[in-house]
Every structure is written in structure tokens, then in C-alpha cells.
Structure 1
Amino acid sequence: MKEFLDILRNDHSDFDQGKLDDRLKSIDPMKLFTKWYQEAFEKQCISPNSMIISTVGEDLMPSSRVVYMKELLEEGLIFYTNYESKKGSDLEENPQISALFYWDELSRQIRVQGIVEKAPEFMSDDYFDSRPRPSQLGAWASRQSNVIADRETLDEEYKKIEKRFENQVVPRPPFWGGYLIRPTTIEFWQGRPSRLHDRICFEKNDVESKEWKVIRRNP
């Protein structure tokens, strides 16, 4: 354990993948987001669309998990999940959310804060239809976040669902669909040498506002 802790404490790796010029302040943040995401994809970053989302429900305890961004729109980011899951119940209680992207290969991260709303049903239908059939069946079988007795219980439920929709198109469950994150804060972080990182932050008062306030923060 001591050797492991020494490795952590002595990790002085530096960052030299780029910088954030102040001229970026004039760019629309969603266009810059799209550019960074494309670069992460082109550089073959591991799971470039994975993001950590954090929610807070009625117990006021933050809860975080990794999900996948499936749509990047001018209005915001879309991910799909079970509406009755822990994240779904949190968002029903409190629609505020944060999302974090980190691309180690580029020494970059994007931090998003905003408000969620359910995505239009046609988008959820289209995405669900594009999923592999086993994943469609799994969406029906799993009452996400609910307690179950053991793994066999889940496997048996999957078999029941498989039988239920045998030789049929699997419809989207009414409790499953997309969320749209409408950002009110988007912060772009670029790792720099000597831990003097670049942070340019776009902020606005509410999701309806078209005007972004742009600031640079200390690392």
C-alpha cells in the first residue's frame, strides 16, 4: 500500500497537448464543444462520448454515474435511460444536472451544468429502434436501480420478455427514453505545463437566454 501511495504522490506528469487562446471566447460554446468532440473521435480517444453525469434528488446527496451521449444538438446533449431509475427519479425531483467529459489523450475536459427535459418521443422511438434486439429486450427486463434478489431473477425476467415479444418488433417501453441537457454553463479545460491549466467558461442565466457571458478562471 505504501508503494502505491508513493506512486500517486510522486506522479508529476505534465500537460503539453495545447492551449486555450482568448480568441476562443468569441466562438459559440456548442460549436466549440462539437469541434472538441470531433477531435476526440478523430484521435481515437477511448469512448469519446462517455460522460459522468451527477444528479441530486430529494435526499440532497449527489449521485454520479457514466452514461453515453447519443446526440449532440444545437440545443444541448441527449442521453437515454430508464425514467424510473435512480437518475430518473432524481431528475423528476430536481432537473438540475452536471455532466463531465474527460479525454486523457488530449488533456482536455468539458464540464457542463444545466437543466434537463425529456427528449421528444419520436427521438426516443428512433434511437430505441436502432438498438440491437437484445438491448431492446434488456430495457424491458431491467427495472433499473430497483433491488432484486439475485442475478437469476434478472435472467428469468429477460427470458419472459424474450418470450413475450417472440417474432415481434420490440416497442420502446413507456418508462424508457431520452433526456435533453440544456446547458447554462460550459467550461472548457485544457491541461497546461506546471499545472497552470487553461479554463474558459461560458455562462448564462437560464436556458432560454441567447447571451453567453465568457470568463477565464484560474486553474
Structure 2
Amino acid sequence: MIATPAARRAFVAANTRLLVPPLVPELRLGLADEALPIWKRTEEEIGELGLPPPFWAFAWAGGQALARYVLDNPDLVRARRVLDFASGSGLVAIAAALAGAAEVEASDIDAFAVAAIEINAAINRVAVTPRHEDLIGADEDWSVVLAGDVSYEKDMAEAATDWLMGLARRGATVLVGDPRRTYLALDRLESVAEYGVPVTRDLEDSEIKRTGVFRFR
């Protein structure tokens, strides 16, 4: 079982290779080629079956769209304090740092994601502070909160949406990237951009996912 941060970083490095997210060619990330092999290896290393997919090992559609939007609109984050919630690989956090954010934090509940964020930030030569915790309900005065692909599961989507909407109401810039998954709260959101995002068929139902970047109404 992997118990130390160094061991988790070694696992991430050994089971990924440097790839360029199709919609965000400015970045290089350690990503997996296929879902099932790394999913199985993660379960073997942890010694537990039935784990959720290793979200950190892939550039998901919502994250790619959100990263593209941030890079194309750097004034959204420039000189501001940014949180990338449920960061996974760190893709969106890295994009925010490249766009000129003053400070970037990237949170995830998966310890392997924290390792991936550390590795990927170093590869792209940016400063990102990973946080291994669930920040739903917290408010640390972030100026910008970015959330990609957080609507794939009902309870998670509802809790995250209520929290993010509260942050938007108190004045934070809150953006959500999502390919309109089942639990995306479209009744509370409006689209600010649309992208056709190339994705892996291992994880999605098509090779191109029409994906939006949204803000709260």
C-alpha cells in the first residue's frame, strides 16, 4: 500500500507519460493512455477494490474547456487568488497560473491527485499549492473559483453547486466546465463559451464532447 507522498509521486510518474491535452496545447501533463490498466494498478497498490476511477490521470472535457477559456481570457485570473476545486491532474490550476494568477490552490480528495498536481505543476514550471481536502462549504476569500467536471454524481454535484453558487453570490468569479452531464444544474447556470473537446472513448461516449464553460445566473 502506498503510504507516503514520495511513493505516490513515484506511482504517478511510473504510470503516466507526458501528453498534450488536445484543447490546451500550451500544457504538458503526465496522463494515462487507457483507463482500465491504471485503474486496476491503483486498486492493487492501495489494496482495495471498487475504487472510483483515477480522475487525476486524464484530461477531462470540462477541465480542458475551462483551461482553454482561462488561457484565452487571462484578465479573469490575472493578479487574483484562484482555487481550482476537484483539480484532478491540475490542468485548470496550471492554466490559471500560466494566465498570471497571483496565487493558485488546487484541491482534491484523492491523494494521488495531489501527487499528480505537484508533478504537473513542476513540468509546466508554475507555482500551484495542492490541498488534499474537501473544501465544499469553505470560504477563504478566493477571488476566482474554477470547477471542472464536478457534476458526474448526484450528491457531489448538488453539494458543490450550492457551495459554488454561494461563493458567486458573495462576489467571487465562479466558472464551471462541464459537457452537460446529468447532474449539471443548468437551471442555475448560463453558458459563456462552448468547445468541441477531443476525449478518450475509454471514458466518454464519443470522441468529441461538446462542452461548456458556465457561470451562475
TM-score normalized by structure 2?
0.26
Higher strand share: 1
Which of the pair has more CA radius of gyration? 1
Which of structures 1 and 2 has the larger relative contact order (alpha carbons within 8 angstroms, sep 6+)?
A: 1
TM-score normalized by structure 1?
0.26
